Structure 1
């Protein structure tokens, strides 16, 4: 069985959301212990991850240094965080495997994802990223070509495009490594967004939704199960209400109806639900949303919100 495990970027921070190097290393050790458990049960695992907190750190460095050096573009931020987090995850996984007496090789593929240069998000960016800044600091960054919006008393905030992922260009390299027996980390943060112009590829200032990128990667590598690991054991109807209801096994059609009824927040559970639904609809296979400590049982359909074709 081949499993695509999608880790949120916050799975690489501590409980308070800090993303110091030592926090990220400790969080990776927890996550990769769970992955080692799957590998010990002869499950083939491909790992992808978010990178929001890590890119956020790079954006702060951009802001602080903007008067001295040009800001690093978002596609470069994605490439840097893919490589760094891949390195951290590989070290943690190899240690966890050694503790279990399991021998597996690991590899990270810094991965580009093709998006449409005509995606409407590029003309009217709406995805907010990074910190709120006062007008004078935002103006300095606008001078470097960034788009910032006045958000009232909170200050100014940067907005970027969030285009649909169309194709994972480096999937053949990831697949070759998977077939050779490597545990592969790929497509972090949804992939580095690139467009094709006049037969050439060019990185763009955009953010790809990591969960939609995970769904596309799972489909592309022919995963049997997509597991989206989050900080709760189930998707929940009427979250936070007295009559809140955890979802166990549910058909993709029923989950889509729940989403249409507004049960899942657009900034948290909504994209995860959409991603799992896309994978199930396109492949006829199973998707699961659950917490990291449940993933071994989730792979067999015994834990979490298990989404089925019918």
Structure 2
């Protein structure tokens, strides 16, 4: 099968863990072990990944230096896509047979400049703060902040991904049996101007939605979204919570899930399955191959 594997930010950096390269490399090694098992089982894979913590940290560093000269989010997205993609590429090459080629592609994704998301920032990025810290940073840097559980985080616009101009390049790489790492962090958000030229915009595209679009355009057999939760749960956080093992898009779309966590994954899964009649799996990194086999996680089909 051709499988698009979307690594969640929490799969690469555990909650509350310091955002050091050492920690990210350790977690990347764990992720690659699971991905290598999928490849060894005979599947072709395309890898995407989140970048919320990383892009938020770079933005914070830039604002601390000279807030009026801070790099825009599309540039920070490109930087994090290169950084995380490099770690994944290197660790993959270290465990795969000699001769198996891996390519990391900086991927632009087109959005609509009139998308209502630009007027309603909702995508959490960066570290968590106390209410006082968040309000101080919002005032100093001109950020929008919102509650994230008991803490606060910066939130930024998250427009819908529409077009992936790099699809022909990705298809060429796949045709030559090259493992592709692309659309990291949801891809680099761009808009097309009236003259036909493109330019980056201040936004972060949801990684799961971008991965679903990628899987649809490539005609993938499966979209596999890996996070730090073992499955999608019905009545999450209540005494009645129960893991969902297998379900249809129609059934799961009638349920309610939290914004910014499981909701985007469920929506991306339903979008992919309804579009190409493939399968979508959601679960933890450690049991990735079992999710594909239908013995772990949540399978939507």
TM-score (normalizing by structure 1)? 0.88
The 1:245–1:149 alpha-carbon spacing in structure 2 relative to 1, beyond 3 Å, is: closer
User: Which of the numbers 246, 249, 270 marks the counterpart of 1:249?
Assistant: 246
Partner deviation per Cα, 1:33-58 (whole Å, 9 max, x = no partner): 11111111111010000001111210
Provide the rounded CA distance (Å) in 1 between the counterparts of 2:280 and 2:273.
6
User: Which of the numbers 173, 187, 195 marks the counterpart of 2:169?
Assistant: 173
Aligned length: 294
The 1:155–1:63 alpha-carbon spacing in structure 2 relative to 1, beyond 3 Å, is: farther
Deviation at 1:155, TM superposition (A): 11
Is this contact kept in 2: 1:10–1:17, CA < 8 A? no
Counterpart in the other structure of 2:113: 117
Q: Which deviates the most, 32-41 or 121-130?
A: 121-130
Deviation at 1:15, TM superposition (A): 5.7
The 1:266–1:155 alpha-carbon spacing in structure 2 relative to 1, beyond 3 Å, is: closer
Deviation at 1:123, TM superposition (A): 3.7
Deviation at 1:232, TM superposition (A): 1.9
Q: Which deviates the most, 155-164 or 294-303?
A: 155-164
Deviation at 1:159, TM superposition (A): 4.4
Counterpart in the other structure of 2:43: 43
Counterpart in the other structure of 2:86: 87
Provide the rounded CA distance (Å) in 1 between the counterparts of 2:134 and 2:295.
49
Counterpart in the other structure of 2:73: 74
The residue correspondences of 1:156-305 to structure 2 (distance < 5 A) are: 158-197=154-193, 198-258=195-255, 262=256, 264-305=257-298
Deviation at 1:257, TM superposition (A): 1.2
Structure 1: gaps spanning 5 or more residues: none
- 2:102 is the counterpart of 1:106: yes
Provide the rounded CA distance (Å) in 1 between the counterparts of 2:134 and 2:182.
36
Provide the rounded CA distance (Å) in 1 between the counterparts of 2:242 and 2:136.
47
Alignment partner of 1:94: what SS? helix
Counterpart in the other structure of 2:2: 2
Is this contact kept in 2: 1:40–1:102, CA < 8 A? no
Partner deviation per Cα, 1:113-135 (whole Å, 9 max, x = no partner): 10001112224444454465476
The 1:203–1:232 alpha-carbon spacing in structure 2 relative to 1, beyond 3 Å, is: same
Provide the rounded CA distance (Å) in 2 between the counterparts of 1:71 and 1:199.
27
Deviation at 1:149, TM superposition (A): 6.1
Q: Which deviates the most, 115-124 or 35-44?
A: 115-124
Alignment partner of 1:18: what SS? coil
Provide the rounded CA distance (Å) in 2 between the counterparts of 1:280 and 1:95.
33
The 1:289–1:102 alpha-carbon spacing in structure 2 relative to 1, beyond 3 Å, is: farther
TM-score (normalizing by structure 2)? 0.90
Structure 2: gaps spanning 5 or more residues: none
Q: CA RMSD in A?
A: 2.3
